Amino acid sequence: MTSQPSGRPLRIVIGAVMYPPDVNGAASFGHRLATGLAARGHDVHVICHAADRRTHTAVEDGVTVHRVGSYATPVHPTARMCSPWRASSEARRLLAEIRPDVVHVQSHFFIGRGVINAARRMNIPLVATNHFMPENIFGYLPIPGALKSVTAKVLWRNLVKHYRKAATVTAPTPRAVRLLQENGFDKRALPISCGIDIDRYRSAAAEHREQHPCPEVRTVLFVGRLDEEKHVEDLLRAMSLLRTDVSTRLEIVGDGSRKESLEQLAAELGIADRVCFAGFVDDEELLAAYARADVFCMPSIAELQSLATMEAMSARTAVVLANAMALPHLVRPGNNGWLYPPGDVHALAKAIDEIVSDRATVDSMGAFSEQIIAEAHDIDAVLARFESVYRHLIDPGRADDPVEIHTEMAS
């Protein structure tokens, strides 16, 4: 149950390019942050892109959502954009109308940039959280491999330029903070988890286990976009190399640019009958997928935290993760799962084999996964941490320095 905050209720604006019904980690976090803060008694407004060219406002899940008219882009089926002048004018108009105590942006693109500049111009305390890596968009842009490094530097430089305007910058993990620093961000940044509503996933998994206490078939699960940086093809190849005598299936939840080629690869590998491509699913179906999973695998090389992995862990699922970017912070090798070298499908197959072959290992590693999330990523604690950041910016003399408050997040 969400606890109540100390101090007066705040009026908070969250600026987000992506917000539900968009489906991705940043959109999910924006929604979880907004609704969580509203449940704690704050007046929360979200400024985000609309799904069409019409600007409109509505109350959604206790949050006032202002959707700014936008245009489809040719590079991504759901990503949308708005012109710089529209982003600027709409952001200024909305902030003048809302008069927030603090603004918290989730992106430096399009409407996010408009909100950043408007907040800075109006002297409103500004917090910025980074969810961006250039690798997340390379699969949608026709950039030759030789130019990706240069393009990445340009994209990072652009992000740093705009995030330097914020009074406080956060990223989901210590590794994500270091990534900012490695790419030129020279101000202080705080590692604050995106957080998980643990009980939601834990209770669904417990109910499933009561109904199906010892399933004969082990299920390996992937949840995420089926795009280049996720490297789902490695997981398919590993599934074809499993040596365990236990029947094992793979469930893939999500959609993206690589779905058709991945389905074709599964057929070529002779494992199509053991792979389920579920596509996008609703919340209840996603909870059910986590609940029946024995092992969650994330082969991606571009995760700043991986909410999907954390959701699976909350459902008491063992994990096998690529030893890349921020994923290692979710693994205690041998206790809740294994890391493997990115791209090494034989190592990936071996790690899956070692878990699924023994029910006791599946159960003990799953319990350890849940413990890891409960200790450092509970959403109520995350909301309290962001509140402390907001209050310190609004009134530094009466609120504790968030650096001291968030020291434990660096572990």
Residue range 225-273, pLDDT digits in tens: 898 889 999 999 999 999 999 999 999 999 988 999 999 999 999 999 9
Q: How many percent of the chain have pLDDT more than 90?
A: 81
- Arithmetic mean of pLDDT, 85-89: 96
Given a cut of 90, whether residue 162 has pLDDT beyond it is: yes
Distance CA 49, CA 67 (A): 5
Whole-number pLDDT of residue 227: 87
Residue 145: pLDDT band with limits 50, 70, 90: confident
- Give the model's confidence band at 7: pLDDT under 50 very low, under 70 low, under 90 confident, else very high: confident
Q: Which residue has better confidence, 143 or 53?
A: 53
* Residues 69-96, mean pLDDT to the nearest whole number: 89
Dist. CA 377–CA 51, nearest whole Å:
31
- The H or E element containing residue 179 is helix 174-182
pLDDT of residue 4: 52
Q: Are strands 76-81 and 71-73 parallel, antiparallel or unpaired?
A: antiparallel
SS3 374: helix
pLDDT of residue 411: 35
pLDDT at 404 over 80: no
Unique residue bearing structure tokens 């793979």: 250
Residue reference for tokens 């834990």: 202
Banded model confidence at residue 211, pLDDT cuts 50, 70, 90: confident
Q: What is the pLDDT of residue 260?
A: 96
Question: How many Cβ atoms sit within 10 Å of the Cβ of residue 187?
Answer: 13
Residue 147: the pLDDT is 85
Of 143-147, 159-163, 176-180, 371-375, minimum mean pLDDT range: 143-147
Query: What are the DSSP calls for 8-50, one per residue?
Result: S--EEEEEES--TTS-SHHHHHHHHHHHHHHHTT-EEEEEEE-
Q: Which of 124-128, 207-211, 375-379 shows the lowest per-residue confidence on average (mean pLDDT)?
A: 207-211
pLDDT given for residue 80 in this prediction: 87
Write down the mean pLDDT value for the chain.
92
Cα(177)–Cα(326) distance, integer angstroms: 10
8 A C-beta contact, residue 70 and residue 49? yes
Give the model's confidence band at 408: pLDDT under 50 very low, under 70 low, under 90 confident, else very high: very low
Q: Provide the pLDDT for residue 77.
A: 66
Instruction: Indicate the angle between helix axes 283-292 and 307-314, nearest 10 degrees.
Output: 60
What pLDDT was estimated at residue 179? 95
Own/partner pairs, 23-29, CB within 8 angstroms, 24+ separation: 23/78, 23/280, 24/225, 25/131, 25/194, 25/305, 25/306, 25/307, 25/308, 26/106, 26/107, 26/131, 28/307, 29/106, 29/129, 29/131, 29/194, 29/195, 29/307
Structure tokens, 49: 């892109």
Cis check for the bond before 174: say yes or no (omega within 30 of 0): no
Predicted model pTM: 0.87
- 410 falls in which pLDDT band (50, 70, 90)? very low
pLDDT reported for residue 294: 96
Q: Which two tokens stand for residue 268?
A: 């070529």
Query: Can you tell me the mean pLDDT for 336-348?
Result: 98
Q: Which domains does the chain have, with CATH numbers?
A: 11-195+378-410 (3.40.50.2000), 198-376 (3.40.50.2000)
Residue 5: per-residue pLDDT: 53
* Average pLDDT of the segment spanning 275-282: 95
Asked which of 196-200, 302-306, 367-371, 403-407 is least confident by mean pLDDT, the reply is: 403-407
